[in-house]
Amino acid sequence: MTTPSAQLAALGLELPAVAAPVAAYIPATRVGDQIWTSGQIPSRGGKLLETGLVGRDLSPEVATDMAQVAALNALAAAADVAGGIDNIRRVIKVVVYVASDPAFVAQPQVANGASKLLSEVFGSAHVRSAIGVASLPLNAPVEVEIIVEV
């Protein structure tokens, strides 16, 4: 079986540095054989890549890409606590919050950006929630949190 790090490399991706918290929380914590992450937004190098409401300020396609970036950030936070991505056995649950125009109802398609990436890296499916919200911190279009098994 291929390792998660090898799968990530095959996708041409690498884990970013763990994003510094923007408030009073930690990026991830371990409870038994699980690691729970705080919500992660689509940022690179401390810079938010997109802002606004999906369906008004940015397209679902861009938001889907942003969900993938946020998932990669969540994976980095989990891997940091796990002692490396290869110590993660599988993704258990993914929650994707989508800051949405009130008329936008395709949150599950946006969430697929996160789910597809995580499924490709770990070779298995997970349970998921895709939730439309009025706004997110820093005007981020998406926020992703994951629970993984180590």
Per-residue pLDDT 10s for the chain (150 aa) are: 699 999 999 999 999 999 888 889 999 999 999 999 999 999 999 999 999 999 999 999 999 999 999 999 999 999 999 999 999 999 999 999 999 999 999 999 999 999 999 999 999 999 999 999 999 999 999 999 999 999
4-149 CATH choice from 3.30.470.20, 3.30.70.120, 1.10.357.10, 3.30.1330.40? 3.30.1330.40
pLDDT for 22 = 82
Per the CB < 8 A criterion, the answer to whether 128 and 96 are in contact is: yes
Per the CB < 8 A criterion, the answer to whether 70 and 118 are in contact is: no
pLDDT for 114 = 98
pLDDT for 60 = 98
**d(C-alpha 107, C-alpha 99), whole Å:** 9
pLDDT for 20 = 87
Q: State the maximum Cα–Cα separation within the chain, in Å, rounded to a whole number.
A: 44
Note the Cα 139 to chain centre separation in Å.
16
Any idea where the domains of the chain sit in the sequence? 4-149
For the full predicted model, state whether its pTM sits above 0.75.
Answer: yes
The stretches of 11-86 forming alpha helices (DSSP H) are: 60-82
